[in-house]
Amino acid sequence: MDRLTGPGWVGLHIVVAVCVVLFVPLGLSALGRGRRLVQWWPVAAVPAVVALALPRGALAGLLCLPYLLACLVVPVVLRRERLVAFAAACLPVAAAGLAAERAGIALLGFPAGVLGLTAAHFHVAGFGALLLLALTEARYRLLAPAGVAIVGAGFLVGGAAGDVVELIGAGVLTAGLWLALATHAGRGARWMFALSLVTMTLALLYAAGQVTSLPHLGLTWMVLTHGVLNAAAVLTALVVAWAGRDQPWSRHTWSHRIGAGRDRFEAASAALLTWDMHRRSGAWVDPATPPATPGLHMLSSLGFGRLRVPEPCRVTEVVRQSDRTIMRYVALPGHTFAGDESFTVLLAQDGAVRFEVTVRSQPVLLVARLAGPLVPVAQRLFIARCATALRTAKPAAAPVRR
């Protein structure tokens, strides 16, 4: 095996850092397991990432120990399903290789390069790729874990014999991945299959080049091509799997003071019911849309250009009283979220006018699922813009009371 050069080490450490921080939280969340472990994962992962930026030595090795301990817990959490359990069992191997490489210890006599590559291989091909195969319930999925195990055995054997074993393992792993992806429906699977044709062919050529004179990329270029592309592909697939999990419902309420007096109350009420508030807050509303009434279908959208997303709704309730105006609507199919929103303009006895919004939602479209914890932030910002629009709405004739 040739040696890694400086750029190769940088690429390897970036790949491992991404794996350490993101792979397990995304994988566990996609499976709906280990919620408490996911919450505490940064406590174990961040010190290991810091260790990757430090010179090899005792301190760097010690910083990797919390990560090693956390990786030992994952197989316990995922012990029930065979393929998932095998994927989880790869994590302690990866973490041990990382800790030894960072500490400068030749674990089992292996040099730093082999230990670093072990950390990357068992994170990406071991845990990440095998977990994805388990999530998709792909056919021929048991070939891939066999290939990972054989490659690992080749590392242990070492020498010329080990190179032959690694070549066999690479062939089995490649066959397993190609068969699983080729027989899985969907555009994403086709893209992954196309990418794997490139990356795994590079892996086969490299493994074959260790036992024959077949031309192949050097180790540094293998890390910067095969390693980086594989890690990026697995990370993308894990993010999509995480976004596709069952989404929880959320409920948020916001309240803003938007002025004082009867005139402000009437102006804000009119802007709310005629959709002027939505338009002035950045949403597009069909100009032909009449004022809100129960049963009305309202077509709106947010964003710009190709990033514009439809937000169709149906008004379910309109209340117009002397001291309050209420409008509620529910999201229709095609909306970014499922759920409903309630908008209320209140005139208090002291003359203060407040705008209150309650949102109950569940992400539906992929863009909302990927946004995750950013969704409440975006909702809060939009409601703040709505409050500003009502605060500056021009007085208008009050709608007919119902």
What are the tens digits of pLDDT across the range 206-263? 778 777 777 777 878 888 888 888 888 888 888 877 777 777 888 999 999 999 999 9
Q: What is the pLDDT of residue 355?
A: 96
Domain end among 225, 243, 261: 243
Owner of token pair 């994590």? 91
Q: What is the pLDDT of residues 109-123, one digit of tens each?
A: 888 888 898 899 889
CB-CB contact of 250 with 364 (8 Å): no
- pLDDT above 90 covers what percent of the chain? 42
Contact 119, 94 (CB under 8 A): yes
User: 239 and 264: one domain?
Assistant: no
**Residues 168, 310: one domain?**
no
Q: Answer yes or no: is pLDDT of 398 > 50.
A: no
Same domain, 191 and 262: no
| CATH code, domain carrying 370 | 3.30.530.20
* Residue 198 falls inside a structural domain: yes
Note whether 108 and 178 are same-domain residues. yes
The per-residue pLDDT for 152 is 76
Q: Name the pLDDT band for 157 (thresholds 50, 70, 90).
A: confident
Strand residues in 72-186 grouped as ranges (E): none
- Split into its structural domains, the chain has a count of 2
Q: How far is CA 88 from CA 28, 329, 351, 365, in A?
A: 10, 45, 62, 30
pLDDT for residue 102: 95
Q: What pLDDT is stored for residue 141 in this prediction?
A: 65
Q: Provide the pLDDT for residue 140.
A: 63
Residues 279 and 224 both lie in one domain: no
- Tens of pLDDT, residue by residue over 304-352, are 766 778 889 999 999 999 999 999 999 999 888 899 999 999 999 999 9
Looking at the structure, do residues 169 and 263 belong to the same domain, yes or no?
no
Q: Classify residue 1: in a domain, yes or no.
A: no
Classify residue 59: in a domain, yes or no.
yes
pLDDT digits (tens, 9 = 90+) for 52-110: 999 999 999 999 999 999 999 999 998 888 888 888 999 999 999 999 999 999 988 88
Residue 269 belongs to a domain:
yes
What pLDDT score was predicted for residue 384?
94
Answer yes or no: is 350 within a domain.
yes
**Average pLDDT of the chain to the nearest whole number:** 85
Is residue 271 domain-resident? Answer: yes
pLDDT (mean) for 35-50: 92
Per-residue pLDDT averaged across 29-38, rounded?
A: 85
Q: Which domain holds residue 121?
A: 6-243
Higher pLDDT, 174 or 126: 126
Last residue of a domain, one of 243, 266, 287: 243
If residue 372 lies in a helix (H) or strand (E), which one and from where to where? none
| Of 199, 216, 243, the domain-final residue | 243
Residues 273 and 339 in one domain: yes
> Is residue 400 one of the residues assigned to a domain?
no
Would 135 be classed as within a structural domain?
yes
Q: Is 305 left (phi over 0), alpha (psi -120 to 50) or beta?
A: left
pLDDT at 2: 55
Flag whether pLDDT at 178 surpasses 50.
Answer: yes
The count of other CB atoms within 10 Å of the CB of residue 368 is: 21
The answer on 309 and 168 residing in a single domain is: no
Q: What is the pLDDT of residue 396?
A: 61
User: In terms of domains, do 61 and 186 share one?
Assistant: yes
Burial tier of 170 (Cβ tally within 10 Å: 0-12, 13-18, 19+): buried
> In this structure, are 258 and 193 located in the same domain?
no
Are residues 87 and 215 located together in one domain of the fold? yes
**Residue 272 sits in the same domain as residue 208:** no
